[in-house]
């Protein structure tokens, strides 16, 4: 990505985020459509960088508009968490260059009256609406009241999400599997792989040690004797996941086919986390769901009329 493309990307994101340079002088006007809305969490004091001793130290000045170290920290908190660390750390210098260029260009556009052009004014309004809608969503997410009944209901309705298992498996790959073919190993057809998997199953049912057999024949080259450790429900491909969470503990499975090949599985243990352990996790999951319900409720209360004939695209046959 070249500098111009990077600038345009960052510039677009800044506009959509509604962030503006903090002003400490005699309130010169901010760029049209921008507002100092913070969509992220409060700035962390553990950002991984060495902050100036004085948070009131001016670290940026552009045509009389200034920004202090504390204001910069608050400014970057408007970005998603994954970007905050970069903007406060390794990308901080590059970011400020791009931001200064954006701000200067924005002010020049205002001087030329470009913000008054109908098409530009409309874009500004759309971006402002996006920022305000996002701010409302964040408001609902943080202020929504989550009751014990809400948490209990989610737990009962989604118990499978909190199931874990410990298991072993042996993989017999077939042609076309994304698993690399091992050195000096023969490429097997689907039928050959299934036949080999059934032979492995017989050996295990006859009492051979699972880990020893896995190290000998498995195409899963993790080197752990087929030990998968703790696996969470839903974290694996569907066929494998269903087998792990339905197979009786200790039983050797029939061959289970996935995109990787045929698996022989043994579930060593399975447990369900109690509500007390996952309460905070459930609350985190519920917040965006309940916030969305609040947003959807606004639409049902609003007086909206849509011309379905105008907004429904014609069918392919109608175009002909």
Residues 31 and 87: their CA atoms lie apart, in Å, by 22
**In CATH, what class is 163-272?**
alpha beta
- Given a contact cutoff of 8 angstroms between Cβ atoms, the answer to whether 240 and 253 are in contact is no
Q: Which helix (H) or strand (E) covers residue 272, if one does?
A: strand 261-272
Local confidence pLDDT in tens for the 320 residues of the chain: 333 233 334 444 444 333 333 333 333 333 333 222 122 333 344 444 454 458 899 989 998 889 998 988 888 888 888 888 888 788 888 988 998 999 999 999 999 999 999 999 999 999 999 999 998 998 988 888 889 999 999 999 988 889 999 999 999 999 999 999 988 889 999 999 999 999 999 999 999 999 999 999 999 877 688 999 999 888 899 999 999 999 999 999 999 999 999 999 999 999 998 999 889 989 988 999 889 999 999 999 999 898 898 888 887 765 55
Tokens of 230: 């703790």
Q: Which long-range contacts (CB under 8 A, 24 or more apart) does 178-184 make?
A: 178/259, 178/260, 179/219, 179/220, 179/260, 179/261, 181/219, 182/219, 182/221
Residues 169 and 179: their CA atoms lie apart, in Å, by 15
Q: Tell me what pLDDT residue 320 has.
A: 55
Q: Tell me what pLDDT residue 261 has.
A: 96
Indicate the domain borders of the chain.
3-143, 163-272
Cα–Cα distances (Å) from 283 to 80, 136, 192, in that order, read 20, 19, 49
């Amino acid at each position: 990505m070249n500098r111009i493309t990077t600038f345009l990307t960052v510039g677009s994101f800044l506009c959509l985020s509604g962030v503006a340079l903090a002003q400490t002088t005699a309130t010169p006007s901010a760029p049209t459509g921008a507002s100092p809305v913070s969509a992220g969490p409060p700035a962390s004091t553990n950002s991984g960088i060495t902050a100036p001793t004085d948070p009131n130290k001016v670290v940026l000045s552009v045509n009389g508009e200034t920004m202090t170290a504390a204001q910069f920290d608050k400014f970057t908190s408007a970005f998603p968490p994954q970007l905050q660390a970069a903007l406060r750390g390794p990308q901080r210098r590059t970011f400020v260059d791009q931001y200064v260029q954006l701000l200067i260009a924005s002010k020049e556009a205002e001087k030329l009256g470009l913000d008054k052009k109908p098409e530009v004014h409309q874009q500004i309004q759309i971006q402002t609406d996006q920022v305000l809608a996002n701010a409302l969503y964040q408001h609902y997410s943080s202020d929504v009241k989550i009751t014990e009944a809400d948490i209990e209901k989610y737990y009962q309705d989604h118990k499978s999400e909190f199931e874990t298992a410990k298991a072993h498996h042996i993989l017999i790959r077939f042609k076309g599997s994304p698993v690399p073919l091992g050195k000096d190993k023969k490429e097997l057809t689907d039928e050959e792989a299934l036949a080999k998997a059934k032979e492995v199953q017989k050996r295990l049912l006859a009492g051979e040690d699972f880990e020893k057999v896995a190290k000998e024949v498995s195409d899963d080259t993790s080197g752990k004797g087929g030990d998968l450790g703790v696996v969470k429900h839903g974290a694996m491909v569907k066929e494998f996941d269903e087998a792990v969470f339905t197979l009786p503990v200790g039983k050797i499975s029939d061959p289970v086919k996935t995109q990787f090949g045929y698996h022989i599985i043994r579930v060593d243990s399975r447990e369900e986390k109690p509500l007390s352990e996952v309460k905070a996790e459930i609350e985190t999951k519920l917040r965006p769901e309940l916030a969305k319900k609040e947003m959807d409720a606004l639409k049902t209360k609003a007086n909206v009329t849509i011309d379905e004939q105008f907004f429904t695209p014609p069918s392919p046959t109608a175009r002909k």
